[in-house]
Amino acid sequence: MSPGRAILRPASVIDVFVRRDLPFLQKYDTRIIVNVCGHSVEEYLDVVERLADENVDMLEINISCPNVKEGGIAFGTDPRAIESITKAVKAKAKQPVIMKLSPNVTDIRKAAKAAESGGADALSLINTLTGMKIDIERGTFALANRTGGLSGPAIRPVAVRMVYEASHAVKIPVIGMGGIASAEDALEFLMAGARAVSVGTANFHDPCISVKIADGIAKFLERKGIEDVNEIVGCAGNGGLYGTV
Ligand SMILES: Cc1cc2nc3c(=O)[nH]c(=O)nc-3n(C[C@H](O)[C@H](O)[C@H](O)COP(=O)(O)O)c2cc1C
């Protein structure tokens, strides 16, 4: 190393996000929700602490990541791990915390309750379902990781069912997602019990899809003579739009 030459530490992903991406997002008149992932509790907390004093509206904690210290089992598959990571994040976070649940569990209600008792301000679900593809010509796994996350319309009925179960198991608000590609799809989630919806995969087909979905929901409400969207939240389990089950 020659004298006078500075040692440059490579910028971490969170450094680049804070310096480059946050100022870009803050130019727009919109709320900013940052999705946080980690492979250990410490990694989650590093990111949460780093974002504490940034102009970020909410944090969404993705607990579908493998926990390296527990042999790679995702945090989100064990209710005790969900409760403890929620508590740890809430102790450091300055923004409201949304816990994003994994659908790769037998009972989503237990996961939802664990996040609520850990202090979560809201829940979002579902993350991707674990899938696998075999390349039959090579007779081996199509994906280098062997398994991959299944998203899009195929998972929607599973997601609607889980949003219904989770939203009836807790008092905190639920954000529904999983295969939403139209206003009709989004309405199903609201009627199942979601207070808001989120769109992932459909953006790859149409980057303007969220605006179209919001417009379509407004048109539906107008056609039904409903003034406030909150009136339809959870109506499926509450007698339906016209008071019948
Ligand atoms: C390409 C891709 C990347 C994703 N990355 C993340 C991520 O970083 N964090 C996360 O919580 N979920 C992630 N997800 C899951 C989505 O946010 C969403 O929960 C899931 O795909 C179901 O919604 P959708 O069918 O509308 O995509 C990703 C999904 C896809 C397809």
What amino acid is encoded at 19 in this protein? R
> CB of 190 closer than 6 A to ligand 1?
no
Spacing, Cα 199 to ligand 1 middle (Å): 9
What amino acid is encoded at 52 in this protein? A
> CB of 34 closer than 6 A to ligand 1?
no
Question: What is the per-residue pLDDT for 244?
Answer: 60
Question: What is the per-residue pLDDT for 134?
Answer: 98
- Segment 51-67 mean pLDDT: 93
**Which among 58, 123, 44, 56 has a CA at the least distance from the CA of 89?**
44
Q: How far apart are CA 39 and CA 218, in angstroms?
A: 40
Q: Does 118 score more than 60 pLDDT? A: yes
> Does residue 59 contact residue 85 with C-beta atoms inside 8 Å?
no
Q: How far apart are CA 193 and CA 171, in angstroms?
A: 11
pTM of the model: 0.93
Q: Does 2 score more than 70 pLDDT? A: no
Q: How far apart are CA 210 and CA 194, in angstroms?
A: 16
> CB of 108 closer than 6 A to ligand 1?
no
| CATH code, 28-237 | 3.20.20.70
Question: What is the per-residue pLDDT for 222?
Answer: 97
Q: Where are the domains of the chain?
A: 28-237
> What is the helix (H) or strand (E) element at residue 67, kind and residue range?
strand 66-67
- Parallel, antiparallel or unpaired: strands 134-135 and 140-141: antiparallel
> Does residue 233 contact residue 193 with C-beta atoms inside 8 Å?
yes
Q: Does 31 score more than 90 pLDDT? A: yes
154 pLDDT band, cuts 50/70/90, is very high
- Which residue's CA is minimally distant from atom 12 of ligand 1? 127
What letter does residue 169 receive in the DSSP assignment?
Answer: H
Question: What is the per-residue pLDDT for 124?
Answer: 98
Q: Does 168 score more than 70 pLDDT? A: yes
Q: Is 137 exposed, middle or buried (0-12, 13-18, 19+ CB in 10 A)?
A: exposed
Question: What is the per-residue pLDDT for 74?
Answer: 83
> With pLDDT > 90 as the criterion, what percentage of the chain qualifies?
87
Q: What is the pLDDT of residues 63-115, one digit of tens each?
A: 988 777 777 778 889 999 999 999 999 999 999 999 999 999 999 999 999 99
> Does residue 86 contact residue 118 with C-beta atoms inside 8 Å?
yes
Q: Does 179 score more than 80 pLDDT? A: yes
What amino acid is encoded at 77 in this protein? T
- Segment 191-211 mean pLDDT: 98
Spacing, Cα 23 to ligand 1 middle (Å): 23
4 pLDDT band, cuts 50/70/90, is low
> CB of 153 closer than 6 A to ligand 1?
no
Question: What is the per-residue pLDDT for 95?
Answer: 98
Q: What is the pLDDT of residues 129-146, one digit of tens each?
A: 999 999 999 999 999 999
What amino acid is encoded at 122 in this protein? A
Mean of all residue pLDDT scores within the chain: 94
Spacing, Cα 152 to ligand 1 middle (Å): 9
DSSP 5-58: PPPPPPPPHHHHIIIIIHHHHHTSSS--EEEE--SSHHHHHHHHHHHTTSS-SE
- Segment 179-204 mean pLDDT: 98
